[in-house]
């Protein structure tokens, strides 16, 4: 079969990420109100369930480099999409909150495998460093595509979230087939893929990854409130109709396409300003929703800004990590992406507790302020402490 071009790699990778991140992981909050009503889920329990895909993501992404080395790029890509199928079907058929939680947990595993294997595939398919940054950022923005796909699903099925998840599972099956047909074949261990313990990285590179990871924890915690509780906020605090949240998620998806420019943003502005821009935009989106959750127009603007901020930041961590550790493309994003999930694991139940105790407005304003604090910290760490010269690469 003809090898993938950079454009083909971007298209395939975006599709897989749209499934594993957009549909299997992040649209959970969109259907949460209907799930809560049918399965009698409290806000605190919803926060805990919302944290589960982030938790399983942690274990999966830690194992991803080993899995890629053992199975190869193609089979790992198929496994990531296949696990999404299993998780989505489990959610669709769940008779209780416990089986719902299991399905959500399996979806997180698929997500944890998909980013490292796509980064490794880009490293093998795309020849130049600058083009790799663009392709990686474009693939990462595939999350927005998956989120946008959820919009017509909500309009068509509204409260019938089970039917929507079965439809998502069918798309995931198509993604697994595409991965099998087009990802690079790898029948043996790749000699270019070192074991994590033997990575030939300098102290400066490890410190660079550590700084990214620390900031990613904060970003993940801030974002958790929006992913899990934004639809809940506009429905229960703002008294908007459930169907209107579909347009919000479409706005998140469309706004998130801005994340495809994360690689070029780093090249033009540098790491520190790029990071600050993303966090300020995301924090403003949370504050805007808190100001008037019943204002549909403001909710759409908030959603678009959140999508743009979040996807720019996740693209920033992915691209910047592969710039720092160029010789370990499947391992480089592991720690920052892992750190993002650690923040989301902590942030989701905290958001649930705050929503239950103080209400949606107070919770969202708290997370907005936290985002600005992380932006300030990043402005200092990435500018004053950057040890890897981003201009030189």
User: Is the pLDDT at 80 greater than 90, yes or no?
Assistant: yes
Give the C-alpha separation, 102 to 90, whole Å: 7
Cβ–Cβ under 8 Å, residues 183 and 77: yes
Task: Label residue 7 exposed, middle or buried (CB < 10 Å: 0-12, 13-18, 19+).
Answer: exposed
Going by C-alpha positions, the residue among 57, 104, 91, 78 that lies closest to residue 333 is 57
Q: Taking residues 228-238, what's their average pLDDT?
A: 86
pLDDT over 50 at 189, yes or no: no
Q: How confident is the model at residue 2 (pLDDT cuts 50, 70, 90)?
A: low
Same fold, 1-185 and 197-385: yes
Lowest mean pLDDT among 179-193, 267-281, 316-330: 179-193
26/86: higher pLDDT: 86
- Whole-structure pTM value: 0.77
Helix (H, G, I), strand (E, B) or coil at 40: coil
List the chain domain ranges. 1-185, 197-385
Whole-number Å distance between alpha carbons of 386 and 393: 14
Helices 161-182 and 28-39 pack at an angle, to 10 degrees, of: 140
Q: Say if residue 193's pLDDT is above 60.
A: no
User: What pLDDT is stored for residue 201 in this prediction?
Assistant: 64
Q: What is the chain's alpha carbon radius of gyration, rounded to the nearest angstrom?
A: 19
pLDDT surpassing 80 at residue 254: yes
Q: How far is CA 250 from CA 254, 306, 378, in A?
A: 6, 12, 29
Instruction: Pick the range with the lowest mean pLDDT from 100-109, 191-200, 268-277, 337-346.
Output: 191-200
- Alpha-carbon dihedral sign for residues 231, 47, 18, 361: positive
**DSSP annotation of 330:** T
In this predicted structure, the answer to whether residue 3 has a pLDDT above a threshold of 80 is no
Residue 185 DSSP SS3: coil
Residue that has been written with the tokens 């959140």 in this structure = 306
Model pLDDT for residues 121-165, shown as the tens digit of each residue: 988 888 766 677 788 888 888 888 887 877 787 777 767 889 889
End-to-end Cα spacing for the chain = 33
Do the beta carbons of residue 144 and residue 307 sit within 8 Å? Answer: yes
Range 1-185: architecture per CATH: Up-down Bundle (1.20)
Q: Say whether pLDDT at 377 is over 80.
A: yes
Angle value at C-alpha 82, between 80 and 83, nearest 5 degrees: 70
Mean pLDDT of the region 332-343: 84
Q: Are 188 and 68 in contact (CB under 8 A)?
A: no
Q: How confident is the model at residue 226 (pLDDT cuts 50, 70, 90)?
A: very high
Q: Tokens representing 273?
A: 């300003």
Ordered DSSP codes for 194-225: --GGG----HHHHHHHHHHHHHHHHHHHHHHH
Beta strand segments in 235-341, E: none
> For tokens 């910047």, what's the residue?
320
pLDDT of 299 reads: 93
Q: Taking CA 77 as the corner, what is the angle to CA 71 and CA 80, rounded to the nearest 5 degrees? A: 105
Instruction: Please say whether the beta carbons of 282 and 371 come within 8 A.
Output: yes
Please check whether residue 110 is in contact with residue 56, taking contact to mean a CB–CB distance below 8 angstroms.
Answer: no
> How far apart are the C-alpha atoms of 264 and 358, rounded to whole Å?
41
CB atoms < 10 A from the CB of 391, how many? 6
Domain 197-385: give its CATH superfamily: MFS general substrate transporter like domains (1.20.1250.20)
Inter-residue contact 29 to 50 (CB < 8 Å): yes
pLDDT, average across residues 307-333:
83
Q: pLDDT tier at 196 (50, 70, 90 boundaries)?
A: very low
């Amino acid at each position: 079969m003809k090898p993938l071009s950079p454009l083909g790699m971007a298209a395939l990778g975006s599709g897989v990420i749209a499934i594993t991140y957009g549909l299997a992981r992040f649209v959970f909050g969109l259907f949460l109100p209907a799930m809560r009503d049918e399965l009698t889920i409290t806000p605190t329990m919803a926060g805990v369930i919302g944290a589960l895909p982030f938790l399983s993501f942690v274990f999966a992404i830690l194992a991803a480099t080993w899995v890629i080395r053992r199975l190869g790029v193609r089979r790992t890509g198929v496994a990531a999409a296949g696990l999404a199928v299993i998780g989505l079907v489990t959610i669709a058929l769940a008779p209780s909150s416990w089986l719902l939680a299991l399905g959500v947990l399996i979806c997180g595993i698929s997500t944890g495998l998909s980013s490292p294997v796509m980064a490794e595939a880009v490293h093998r398919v795309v020849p130049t460093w600058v083009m790799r940054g663009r392709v990686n950022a474009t693939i990462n923005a595939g999350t927005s595509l998956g989120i946008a796909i959820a919009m017509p699903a909500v309009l068509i099925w509204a409260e019938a979230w089970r039917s929507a998840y079965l439809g998502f599972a069918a798309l995931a099956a198509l993604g697994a087939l595409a991965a099998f047909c087009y990802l690079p074949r790898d029948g043996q261990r790749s000699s270019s893929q070192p074991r994590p313990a033997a990575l030939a990285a300098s102290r400066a590179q490890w410190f660079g990854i550590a700084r990214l990871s620390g900031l990613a924890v904060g970003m993940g915690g801030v974002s958790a409130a929006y992913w899990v509780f934004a639809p809940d906020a506009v429905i229960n605090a703002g008294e908007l109709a459930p169907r209107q949240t579909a347009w919000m998620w479409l706005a998140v998806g469309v706004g998130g396409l801005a994340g495809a420019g994360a690689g070029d943003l780093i090249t033009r502005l540098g790491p520190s300003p790029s990071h600050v821009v993303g966090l300020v935009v995301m924090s403003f989106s949370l504050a805007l929703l808190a100001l008037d959750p019943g204002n549909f127009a403001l909710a759409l603007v908030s959603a678009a800004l959140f999508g743009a901020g979040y996807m720019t930041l996740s693209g920033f961590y992915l691209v910047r990590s592969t710039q720092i550790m160029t010789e370990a493309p499947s391992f480089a994003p592991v720690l920052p992406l892992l750190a993002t999930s650690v923040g989301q694991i902590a942030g989701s139940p905290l958001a649930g507790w705050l929503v239950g105790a103080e209400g949606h407005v107070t919770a969202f304003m708290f997370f907005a302020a936290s985002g600005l604090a992380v932006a300030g910290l990043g402005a200092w760490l990435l500018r004053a402490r950057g040890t890897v010269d981003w201009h030189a690469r």
